[in-house]
Amino acid sequence: AKTNINTNRMIRSASASPLVLLERLRQRQYSVDRLRRLYAQLVALVLYDNNNDSNDVEEDEMERRHWEEPQGPWSKLWSSMQQRKRRFHNKNKTINSSSSNDSTCKTTTRDPPLTAPPKQRRHHPRGIETAFLSMAANRTSEPTFPIRDVMSFESDHQNDDDEEDNDLRRAQREERRCVQLLSDISTVLTNAMGQQQQQAALHQRANDDDHHSNEGSAPTNQVFAYFGEKNILRLLLEMVRATPTSSSHHLRPVAWTAPVKAQALQTVAELVSSSYHAASSLYYVLSQDTLNQLVTDVLPLDQWTDPALEVLLPPYVDLLQAMALVLSDAPQLSCFFLQVPKEAEGETCFPLFSAILETTTSAYATSNSFVHSTCLNLLVDMMQISNSANNDHSNHITAIHDWIRDAVGHHQILAQHLCNILLARYRRMVNLCSGPVVDAIRSDALSAQWQGLREEVDSIWNDVLVDCAIRPLNVRLCEDFLSQVFCTLWKEVHEGYTSWKAVSSSPMTFPNDDEVEDGTTRPQQNLVFMSIGVLDADVIPEREAVAQVAVWVLATLLDRLRYRPLVRMLTVALLHPQTNATLWTNGSSATAANDDAYHFTPGLHQIAQGGTNDAELEDNFFRQFLFQTLAGDFGEWRAVAAAVLLEHVLLSPSMDADTLALVQLFPTPDHEDDQGCDLDRAVAKFLRRPHTLTSDVCTTAIECVSSLALHLLHKTVSLSLSRQHRSSDPSNVVGSSVPSLDSLRGLREARSFFFEKTLVAHSNTDNVACEDVFVDYMEAAVQNCYKRISLYGSADNSSSSSTRQRPSSRVHAYQLYQHSCAFHSTKSECLIRKHWSSRTSHAEEARWNAQMALHLRAVNNVASRFLEQTTAIQHTESSSVAKAPKLELLDRVGELEEIFGVFSSTPRIGSEIDLRFRSSFFCSSGMTGNQVSSALKELKDLRSMAAESSLIGSSTELSFVLDTVHLFVIRPTSTSKKVTSNESSRGIILCCIPLLNVIAAAMDGAWLHVAVRHDNVKSLIKNGNMALQFESAEISTMVRDDLNRSRRLLRHEVAQKLKTLLAYTRGDSRMENDKEMVTAEPLEEKKTDTEPGR
C-alpha cells in the first residue's frame, strides 16, 4: 500500500499529461509486442513443440522492457520494481527446478503409493485428452491420441470420479484461456488494420498536397508483418481442421473443442472485414488460398455435433459474409476465389459459392431463420455480381458469370431447395386450416404463414429470377417449380375436386323409414356439404383444407411473381382449355428418373401449339373445376379463392393480349358460344344465385365475384379497343363485345334481388314502427358504407405523386377497393374466421340485405360510369389512339345525400342562426349562468370571445328550435320573450341534432325528456338523454307533439324516397336490350319525375 501511494504521488507530479499516458497504454495494448506475447501464450497452449517460439518471445520481452524503461522523476521506483520482479522470478524458477528433480528421483527409486491424495499425484495426459474428447466438436468413434510426451500408466483406469472432474475442469480452463487469447489477437489485428488504413489515407493526402503521388511509400504495419512472419493464419486453419482422428498430431487437444474453432473462424472473419480497405493486407490474406481451404474444411456440416453446430455456424456465416462482401465490391479479386486446376482435365471450383449453397440447404440452416435468410441473401449477391454492368472489371465478372451459368448441379440443388421451402410452407398452412372454421389463434398463425409466403416470393424468387437473370438457372427454376410445386398443388386440387364431385352427386338415404316411405332418396347438393365453411359450427376436413389452400397458394404466386415467363407458363397450365393430365400426374416421377431432363416446359409448349402425335391432350379439369367453383356449385366458401385467383390473372402485368387470347378467357366478337365465355357465364351464374345465407362468408364471396365482374368488363373493353386499333376496318368492336357479357346482366339482376329482399322485409307501409326500423338500419348501412375521404387531384390517382399533396376535395364515397379480391387476398379470415358471424334474426338479415344492396348499387354505378367514359372516348378520339379509361373503384354518395341529409353540411356549433320561420320555444336546462358561460367559452375556437361577451349575460334562458331536418338548442341574443314578425331574432347554436337521430320524447310536467343518438354535450345531453324545462306542462306537451309530428313526417318522407330508389329496377333487368348496355343507360339509376315533398 505504501508503494502504491508513492507511485500515485510521483505519477501526479510527472510532467506527462493523463492523455499522453492513456495513449501510451493504448499503444502498448495494440502493439506488436503484445501480439508477440499473445502468440507465444497461444503456441504454448496449442502446440506441443513450442521451445523455440517461447525463447524468442522471452528475448523480445527482455529487450522490450529494457527499451521501455521510463525516464523521469519516478524512474528509480520503476527500476526497483523491476529488480524485485526479477528476483522473485528467479527464486520461483529455482524452486520449481529443484522440486522437479526431486520428483524424478523419487519416481526412479520408489513408486508412489496408489492411495496418495489426488492433489499430490501427477496429472495424467491421457485423462485430460479423454476430457477434451468428450468436449470435441466432431462426431468421432475411435480417436488416435498423439504419442509424443505421453507416458503410459497402468493406473489410468483406476482414476476415481474426483480426478475425472479435475481433468474436465482443467480442460475447460484451457479452452477458455485459448478462446480469450484468440479474441485478444483478433482485437490487436483489427486495431492494426484500422491504424494502417488511417496512415495510408494520411500518406495519400500528403502526397496529393505535394503533387508527388508516386513518391514515397506508405508506412509498414509491424503488427501485420509479425502476423505474416509467424504465419498465424495457417495456425488458425490448422486449429479449425484439428480433430481427434486427424493425422496432424502437433496440436494439443484443446483445438478439438467447438468454442476454440468458433473463435478461430470469428478471428479470420474479423481479419477479412478489417483488411478490406488495406490492399496489401487483403492481398496477403487471399493469396495463400487459406480462406478457400477454410470454408471447404468446415463442410460437410454433418461432421459436427448438434451442440457444436450452434456454436460454429454463426461465425462461419460471418466469414462467408465477409468474403462475399469483398468479392461484391472488388470483382477484380475473383482470381483468388476461383480455384483453377493445374491439370487440363480438372474443373474450375468456386468454393465460396459452393459453401454458401451447401450451408443454405443444410437442415440446421433451415431450422435457423437468421442463418437461412443470410445465406440466401449471400447467394443472391453472388449471382448479382455476375449480372453487374461494371465495364472496368468485365473480364473478372465474366469469369464468375460463366462459372455460375455452367454450374448445373448447383442449379438443381438451389431450385429443389426453393421448391421445398414453398412446399413446406404449404403443408404448414394446410395443417393450420384443418379444423374448426372459427378459431382466432389459428387464424393469426395462418396470417403469419401467408405473410411469410409473400415475403419469400418477393425476396427470394423475384430476386433470383428477375434481378440475377441467369438464363440456365431461370430455366431450371421454372422446370423444378412446375415439376414439384405445381404438380403437387395440381394433384391436391384434383383429388379434392374428385371427392367434391362424388359427394355432391351421391344420393342420401333418410335414416328413419317411418318418416319417409320406401327408402325415398334425394340428391345431396343442397345439404350441409354445400355450406362447409359458411356456418360457424363447421369443421374443415383435411381434404377440403388441402384443396382450398392449394388454390390460395396458386393465387398468391400469380399475384407476387414478377418473372413473366413463369407467370405465363403457370397461367397456361391452369387455364388453357387443353392439358396433358399424364404429364402433371406422373411429372415428379419422370423428373426423379432423370434430373437433367426437361419435361414440363416442352410439355407446355405442346399445349400452347395444340398438341402433337406424341402428346394426347384432353380437357383441362382445373379450368372446369375453377369455373364450377366460381359459379358456386361447391358452395360460397370455395368461390372466394377462385375469384381471387382469376382476378390476379386479369390484373397481372405479365399477362399480355396474346397470352389472354391463348387461354381463352374473353369472348370473341364472332363466336359468343365458344369457350371464351366460360368465365363470363360462371360469374353471371354466381350473381344470379339466391343468396340467403347471411354470414361473412357470403358477404366476402359476393364482394369478390362482383369485383371480378368489374375487372372482366374493364379487360374486355381494353382488348376490344386493341383489336379495333389493329383491325384494318375499324368498327364498333366494343359494341359487339360488351353486350355479350352476361356478367353485366348478372350484376344488375343481383342488385334487383337484394333491392327486393330489402323491400320485402318492410313492405307494410302502415306500420309506423316498422317504417322507423327500416329508416334506421338503412341510415346505419349508408353511414357504414360511405365514408368521408380526401381526393388528391382525382379519385383514381390519389397516390400518384411521391410527395404529399394537399387534398383537392373531401367527399363521401364508397371505396370498392376495400371490398375487392386484392383486399381480401391478404386476409386469413377468408379461410379461418376469428369471430362468430352467423345471423339468425330477421333484423340482422334485413341489415345484411341492405348492405349487399348498397354494395351492388355502387358496383353498378362504377360499371355505368366506366361505359359512359368509354363511349365518350370512342366519339371524341380517333380509333388509332383510343384507349380504355381507368377503372375508378369509387362511388360517391350522390342521391343518398339528398335522401338522408346526414352527409350534407350542418350548421356549426357556436354560429348564429335566424329564428324566423322556425318553431321556437323558450326553455331552460337547469344550467346556472356560470355553466352557460363555460359552455360558450368552449366555442372560443369558433367565434371571438369579444363578440360573445355581450351575449352571455346572467340569464339562463334557452330556446328550443325545430327545423325540417334538425333540432336546435340555442342561446337567444334577445332577452325579450315577445318577438314580432318584423323584428330580427337570432341566437347562438349550443347543440344541433338531426331529427333522424331522435328516438323518442316523453314529458314529466314542465320537463321534456328527449332520447337521441348524439354525443354528450355539457349540461345538455348525457348518455343520450336531453332534459329541458319549459314554462308550463301545456307548452311541454305542445313541444312534444310538434317534435313527434316533424320526426314522423321526415321519416315517412325518407322511407318513401328509399322505397322509390330500391323499387325502380323491379322487373326491368331482363327487359332492356343489349344495345342500351353499350351506352350504359340501363345501369343508370332512373329518377322519378315527382319527388314527395317534405
- Residue 789 pLDDT: 83
Which three cell numbers mark 776?
A: 334506421
Q: What is the dihedral of CA 600, 603, 605, 606, to 10 degrees?
A: 180
- Residue 898 pLDDT: 76
Burial (Cβ within 10 Å: 0-12, 13-18, ≥19) of residue 397 = buried
- C-beta pairs of 1004-1010 under 8 Å, 24+ apart in sequence: 1005/1033, 1005/1036, 1006/1030, 1006/1031, 1006/1032, 1006/1033, 1006/1035, 1006/1036, 1007/1036, 1008/923, 1008/1036, 1008/1039, 1008/1040, 1010/967, 1010/1043
Burial (Cβ within 10 Å: 0-12, 13-18, ≥19) of residue 367 = exposed
Rg of the chain's alpha carbons, rounded to an integer? 43
Select from 86, 88, 90, 109 the least CA-distant residue to 98. Answer: 90
pTM flag (> 0.85):
no
Backbone angles phi, psi at 1067, to 5 degrees: 85, 5
- Residue 167 pLDDT: 83
| CA–CA dist 1045, 967 (Å, integer) | 13
Q: What is the dihedral of CA 467, 468, 469, 475, to 10 degrees?
A: -120
Tell me the per-residue pLDDT of 708-759, one tens digit each, with 9 for 90 and over.
999 999 998 888 887 776 665 555 555 555 657 889 999 999 999 999 888 8
- Residue 8 pLDDT: 56
- Residue 768 pLDDT: 67
| CA–CA dist 1008, 1029 (Å, integer) | 6
Whether residue 175 contacts residue 260, with contact meaning beta carbons closer than 8 Å, is answered with yes
| CA–CA dist 656, 572 (Å, integer) | 12
- Report mean pLDDT in 10-residue bins for the chain, 1094 residues: 52 56 69 89 81 46 44 55 64 53 42 38 59 82 42 42 76 92 90 70 59 48 86 91 75 90 94 81 85 91 90 94 89 85 71 93 87 90 70 68 88 91 93 90 92 90 84 87 88 74 49 39 41 74 88 92 91 86 60 59 76 65 88 88 93 87 76 68 92 83 94 88 66 59 90 88 64 83 85 50 54 88 88 77 83 92 90 65 80 82 74 81 69 52 37 58 86 60 68 87 90 84 88 90 89 85 55 38 38 35
- Residue 519 pLDDT: 41
Backbone angles phi, psi at 90, to 5 degrees: -65, -40
Which three cell numbers mark 316?
A: 462461419
| CA–CA dist 267, 654 (Å, integer) | 48
- Residue 115 pLDDT: 38
Select from 971, 970, 912 the least CA-distant residue to 944. Answer: 912
Burial (Cβ within 10 Å: 0-12, 13-18, ≥19) of residue 210 = exposed
Torsion sign over Cα 997, 1002, 1008, 1011: negative
